[in-house]
Structure 1
């Protein structure tokens, strides 16, 4: 196995940092920018809803197109350039029509960038021994930096700076991708001139496993959708709410820092089982946390409910899906998360109107189901990973 290249691992880390910096500005602050442009909340909701639906569909399709052409880096560049051009549409007059087209186009063409980046990073980890989690943690750091920058710029007079930074982050993502070397995808059969293994997308077992992997992230629906509103209703100051969100991301980064060592002792299903158990505790106790210390303590569990779940999911897909189709696999994971998250947000919204505590109890129940489903599927997942490993050997 080649020795890891510090320069390559740093560039992959930079790829994640650039992408998530733009995403960390777009996700929380694009509704604010649209509102400053005179677009009503109902229209904003419609635009983001359409964009979300199209993003969910576009992620695996555009990632699959990249896998078929074998041009992963070039695809990231093209999608990122289109993303930046989409943001530039805000400079044109046209109100809702132009702004809506800009937002939806950005969401669609940026959708495959993360799965393709994950696929490239996993190839680097597989071929050089570089720790995937240590590269990926810079995405989380970029997201936090964007949140802080966006919060300081979230005023009408400076909203154009937010748009400019989103576009620049998209451009930087594409150019960092092209600065990296083509990553050799070592598949069984390469040396003998035989056929590479097929992806498991047509296998019956793959789809329930994919659904369960997505379920762990979708269990955050109540928190992502209503966590801030819930804390505000409890009288938590806005600056403290921002700090609570930061605690969760810092905990996530801490796990990513040591995840490589943990991966030598525990296989991916264990990461997911730990994530499910942590989520049961986190969401069950969420309504009972009535002090900042208690809230912060529960936020530390984000390291497991998000971080461990993410690492376990991408590792399972990396082991059972050939490298040639890795972008498609990671894109399908994003679609699984997106569909279940959308359903979760809708249900949690209805429950929040009835009782603000109910969405979190529902997420605790979802987490129980996810942990039990993962426990039941673990023998199957391990057999599939072992089979893929033997085929690769």
Structure 2
């Protein structure tokens, strides 16, 4: 039996695939997502905790991560352009992921501050672009095989959840200085699986600078990116300082891992629900809801002094991050030219993970150092409220703007 999908017949260079090949491609991609996002959990969840273990202050952690986010702003469009021009996503991921493994292994064995600055910068140059490239690969291969993006991405969330829990309690037993062995194990498996995943179907159209210029200068697109920035600043601040905040309230590394496990488990549930919740045309409505819940989440984090209560508040991660980011990708893919989808994905990632990361890391580190963690979460909540109000404004004017 053979399966023929419309995208495979549209000049993409792909032909008929057997049912077995179809299932193997999807299963390989799901397995890659599991181990890649397990690896990413070390980078996002435990890098700040590792830096604190090495004696780096909250303000210095903010500078390091902020510097890395700035480097990510430069590297993500670069690798996205390479992907678009080379007409491949998988091969670019193999380069960025492979170099991330080498740099990350060295980073997690280092303690000198100057060397940490260099290696963190290198990690952001290679590791950060791998995330939007992976998301683009997921979206396009899922589209190619006629399945929903969430049915693939759910396995990434499961990997992130399980790794966060396992790593947190493992590090409590083997010591933070041995984290590099865990990183090497997850990274090696992710790389091997990436070798067998299918590449994404490519567009037969020529790249057009004029299309990209129209995309970047269209007023509705610019307003949407401002909304993404307002929501992403507190989100990325939480990514950088959640572990440090839990420890400042008396929690241990295991509790940090549990917090990220709880957050990721909630992502699994909402990735599974996302096909029902997200329909074309209702993206701004769902983004408004997610922004409101972001605000509630951060206000409660600021109010509670018990680290376990802060841990369980991360259950709200599903409806905040998953709904917000998935709706953003869906909206983005509706308004950009076909030939610039990988580049468009990186523009979104530059804003969500790059620019917002710089602001959140530098500003968050300063606030945490001088006013404390509770004050930081109060500031994050106010920023989310502003994002929610701005989203309501865009929602009201959306019918008159259309989608193109």
Q: Per-residue deviation at 1:123? A: 1.2
More displaced stretch, 75-84 vs 244-253: 244-253
CA RMSD, aligned part only?
Answer: 3.8
1:185-196 counterparts in 2 under 5 A? 185=202
TM-score by length of 2: 0.78
Q: Per-residue deviation at 1:275? A: 0.3
1:251-302 deviations in Å (ceiling 9; x for gaps): 1211111211222487322221110121232223333446789656643322
Q: Distance in 2 between matches of 1:194 and 1:105?
A: 29
1:375 matched to 2:378? The reply is no
2:196 aligns with: 179
Q: Distance in 1 between matches of 2:117 and 2:233?
A: 26
1:339 aligns with: 355
More displaced stretch, 218-227 vs 123-132: 218-227
2:144 aligns with: 127
Relative to structure 1, is the Cα distance of residues 138 and 217 closer, same or farther in structure 2, using a 3 angstrom cutoff? Answer: farther
1:13 matched to 2:30? The reply is yes
More displaced stretch, 250-259 vs 344-353: 344-353
Contact kept, 8 Å, 1:272 with 1:308, in 2: the verdict is: yes
Contact kept, 8 Å, 2:225 with 2:348, in 1: the verdict is: yes
Q: Aligned to 1:85, which of 102, 105, 129? A: 102
Contact kept, 8 Å, 1:319 with 1:385, in 2: the verdict is: no
Give the secondary-structure state (helix, strand or coil) at the position aligned to 2:200. coil
Contact kept, 8 Å, 1:9 with 1:130, in 2: the verdict is: no
2:5 aligns with: 2
Relative to structure 1, is the Cα distance of residues 198 and 254 closer, same or farther in structure 2, using a 3 angstrom cutoff? Answer: same
Q: Aligned to 2:89, which of 43, 50, 72? A: 72
Q: Distance in 2 between matches of 1:139 and 1:226?
A: 22
TM-score by length of 1: 0.80
Q: Distance in 2 between matches of 1:219 and 1:127?
A: 34
Give the secondary-structure state (helix, strand or coil) at the position aligned to 2:211. coil
1:1-393 counterparts in 2 under 5 A? 2=5, 5-30=22-47, 47-87=64-104, 89=106, 100-154=117-171, 162-185=179-202, 198-199=211-212, 200-221=215-236, 223-228=238-243, 230-231=245-246, 242-264=257-279, 267-289=282-304, 295=310, 298-337=313-352, 338-352=354-368, 353-354=370-371, 356-378=373-395, 386-387=403-404
More displaced stretch, 111-120 vs 5-14: 5-14
Give the secondary-structure state (helix, strand or coil) at the position aligned to 1:198. helix
Q: Distance in 2 between matches of 1:27 and 1:306?
A: 14
Q: Per-residue deviation at 1:30? A: 4.2
Contact kept, 8 Å, 1:23 with 1:166, in 2: the verdict is: no
Structure 2 unaligned segments of length 5 or more: list them.
7-18
More displaced stretch, 152-161 vs 331-340: 152-161
Contact kept, 8 Å, 1:116 with 1:327, in 2: the verdict is: yes
Contact kept, 8 Å, 1:83 with 1:109, in 2: the verdict is: yes
Q: Distance in 1 between matches of 2:241 and 2:177?
A: 27
Q: Distance in 1 between matches of 2:387 and 2:111?
A: 46
Structure 1 unaligned segments of length 5 or more: list them.
388-393
Q: Distance in 2 between matches of 1:301 and 1:91?
A: 30
Contact kept, 8 Å, 1:13 with 1:136, in 2: the verdict is: yes
Relative to structure 1, is the Cα distance of residues 207 and 149 closer, same or farther in structure 2, using a 3 angstrom cutoff? Answer: same
Aligned residues: 382
